Amino acid sequence: MENKIINKKAVDTLDILIFEDGLRIKSVFPDKESDSLILILNTGKIIKSRLSIFPRLSAGSEKQLNNYRLVSKGIGISWEELDEDLSLKGFLKETAINYIIKQLQTEDTENLVLI
Domain 13-105, CATH number (from 3.20.20.70, 3.30.2020.40, 2.60.120.960, 3.40.30.10):
3.30.2020.40
Q: Is the pLDDT of residue 110 over 70?
A: no
pTM: 0.77
DSSP for the chain, written as a single string? -----------SHHHIIIIIS---EEEEEEETTTTEEEEEETTS-EEEEEGGGSHHHHTS-HHHHT--EEETTTTEEEEGGGTEEEEHHHHHHHHHHHHHHHHHHSS--TT----
Q: Is the pLDDT of residue 107 over 80?
A: no
What integer best gives the mean pLDDT of the chain? 86
- β-strands 36-41, 25-31: how paired? antiparallel
